[in-house]
Amino acid sequence: MAKISFGGVVEDVVTREEFPLSKAQQVLKNERVAVLGYGVQGPGQSLNMRDNGIPVIVGQRKNTPSWDKALKDGWVPGQTLFPLEEASAKGTIIEYLLSDAGQKEFWPKLKPHLTEGKTLFFSHGFSITYRDLSGVIPPKNLDVILVAPKGSGLSLRRNFLEGSGINSSYAIFQDYSGKAKEKTLALGIAMGSGYLFPTTFENEVFSDLVGERGVLMGAIAGIMEAQYNELRKHGHSPSEAFNETVEEFTQSLIKLAAEKGMDWLYANCSTTAQRGALDWKGKFRDAVAPLFTRLYQRVADGTEAKIVLEKNTQPDYRQKLDAELAQMRNSEMWQAGEKVRELRPENWKKEA
């Protein structure tokens, strides 16, 4: 395992040079991987493993668009494509890739097939971490493991076909066979990971839930709204407020930050921007720090998960959700955004 220092903290990382495909094939040669759910992560993982010479079958509900997609992708009913329960019975490694809600629902039907020595695999820590809510409590006599590719199923597949890879985290919840780690890494490499870094089921789901509620989606949209509203309050036009809040960020700064890091951005901007950004960064950090503390607490104690599962079972949730989304869509800021995007040069100078 390669020890890599991330900003002074050393982490163990497994690369495909250290754990080559041939080793993964060796580890998995007597297994049969059953990928349950041909929805988001299912196609990428199953297709990559099949292309890497791993014995794979797919489990999917019949008469669904996903079943038809599986047919087009060369899965053969009765040979490599089965209804969910049949695939669960046939697989020795069960990749449980249904949605969080789908996992809770199917669990009573899956459980009888989880016989001694099998492996239960996840790509998300939700059901296991919040097992009191989901009911997903696996028997003790099997391995329970996780590999979470850090990208969409589509990018997992695309990167694989180009010969690059995607980074993934891995975790072991239960090691009954004593070989859980080897199996986990083998599956990670076989599905197209370039390198794997260790985590736990809890950490995977906590960081995921905090991230999407925080900087990735919740916090960013909230901060944007606050700044936009303040600019508008002082008489700035919608287009000016949007450009200074969102457009410049998404169209140029974030791309530079992606390549060079935010530190480089700070080091290379105008002196006016630089002084101000340095002075205000700390104030913003301190202002939102208590919110993050509360957010993490609520993720860790299961409050956030409980809300998700409860809301999703309320009959009128869909309706309420649509109204919420419409409110955001129809807000002045995002309406202004639509116009600003239309006015981007590449969109008005249409090509012949």
Partner 1 sequence: MSSQPFITFDHVTLRLPNRLILEDSSWRVRADEQWAILGPNGSGKTTLVRSLWGGVPLRSGKMAFDFLGSGSQDGDFPPLEAIGYVSLEMHQRLMEQEELQEEFRAYAEKEGEGTTAREVVFSGILASRPLRQEDERRLSEVAQMLDISPLLPRPIRSLSTGETRKIIIARALMKSPRLLILDEPFEGLDEKGRNILARSINGLMTGPMRVILVAHRLEEIIPNITHVLLVKGGRLFLQGPKDAVLTSENLSQLYGCSLRLGKDNGTYFLDYGEEENTPKELPGEYQEGPSEESEGLIEIRDTTVRYGDLVVLDRVNWAMGRGENWAILGPNGAGKSTLVKLILGENLQAYANPIFLFGQRKGSGESIWDIKKRIGVVSAELQVQYRKRISAFEVIASGFYDTIGLYQAPTSTQKEVVSRWVDFLDIKELAKEPFNQLSFGQRRMILLARAMVKSPVLLIADEPCHGLDVSNRIKILRVLEKIGRTNTRLLYITDRPEEILKCITHVMSLDRGKVVRQGRKEEVL
Residue 167 in contact with partner 1, rule: CB under 8 A: no
Residue from 91, 153, 188, 192 binding partner 1 (CB under 8 A) = 153
Candidates 46-54, 177-185, 199-207, 294-302; binding stretch for partner 1 (CB under 8 A)? 46-54
Q: How far is the CB of 51 from partner 1 (least distance, A)?
A: 4
Sheet holding 166-174, edge to edge: 2-6, 9-15, 193-198, 166-174, 143-149, 119-122, 93-96, 33-36, 56-59, 81-82
Q: Which two tokens stand for residue 212?
A: 């999407």
Helices and strands in the chain: count of H runs, count of E runs: 20, 10
**Residue 239, token pair as written in the block:** 């287009």
Residue 351 as a binder of partner 1 (CB under 8 A): the answer is yes
Pick the piece of the chain touching partner 1 (CB under 8 A) from 64-72, 277-285, 304-312, 333-341. Answer: 64-72
Of 164, 184, 162, which is closest to residue 175 (Cα–Cα)? 184
Closest to partner 1 by CB, 160 vs 173, is 160
User: For partner 1, which residue of 1, 12, 74, 115 counts as binding (CB under 8 A)?
Assistant: 74
**352 contributes a contact to partner 1 by CB under 8 A:** yes
Does residue 72 interact with partner 1 by CB under 8 A?
Answer: yes
DSSP 8-state assignment for residue 77 = B
The DSSP bridge partners found for residue 193 are 166
Number of residues that bind partner 1 (CB under 8 A): 32
d(Cα 346, Cα 194) in Å, to the nearest integer?
Answer: 35
Q: Give yes or no for residue 320 binding partner 1 (CB under 8 A).
A: no
Q: Residue 57 interacts with partner 1 (CB under 8 A)?
A: no
Task: State yes or no: residue 66 binds partner 1 (CB under 8 A).
Answer: yes
Tell me, yes or no, if 113 is annotated catalytic: no
Separation CA 145–CA 122 (nearest Å): 6
The answer to whether residue 78 forms part of the interface with partner 1 (CB under 8 A) is no
Is 152 an interacting residue with respect to partner 1 (CB under 8 A)? yes
Residue 54 or 142 having the CB closest to partner 1:
54
Q: Decide: 107 and 136 in contact? Cβ < 8 Å.
A: yes
Alpha helices in 52-193 (DSSP H): 65-72, 84-90, 100-110, 126-129, 131-134, 153-162, 180-190
Closest CB to partner 1 among residues 43, 125: 43
* Binder among 1, 11, 12, 29 for partner 1 (CB under 8 A): 29
In whole angstroms, the minimum distance from the beta carbon of 258 to partner 1 comes to 15
Candidates 39, 102, 211, 302; binder of partner 1 (CB under 8 A) is 39
Binding to partner 1 by residue 117, rule CB under 8 A?
no
Question: Is residue 69 a contact residue for partner 1 (CB under 8 A)?
Answer: yes
Binders of partner 1 among 88-107, rule CB under 8 A? none
Q: Is 218 in the site for partner 1 (CB under 8 A)?
A: no
Distance, in Å, from the CA atom of 71 to the CA atom of 150, rounded to the nearest integer, reads 27
Binding of partner 1 by 342 (CB under 8 A): no
Specify burial of residue 158 (Cβ count, 10 A radius: 0-12, 13-18, 19+): middle
Q: Residue 20 interacts with partner 1 (CB under 8 A)?
A: no
Which tokens in the block code for residue 276?
């101000």
| Nearest-approach distance from CB 29 to partner 1, in angstroms | 8
- The tokens describing 28, both together, are 């998995």
Residue type, 210: V
User: Exposed (0-12), middle (13-18) or buried (19+): which is 45, by Cβ within 10 Å?
Assistant: buried
Per-position DSSP letters for 191-235, written without gaps between them: TTEEEEEE--HHHHHHHHHHHHHTTTTHHHHHHHHHHHHHHHHTT
Establish if 221 lies at the interface with partner 1 (CB under 8 A): no
Residues marked active site are found at 124
Residues engaged in binding partner 1 (CB under 8 A): 21, 25, 29, 39-40, 47, 50-53, 55, 65-66, 68-69, 72-76, 80, 152-154, 161-164, 349-352
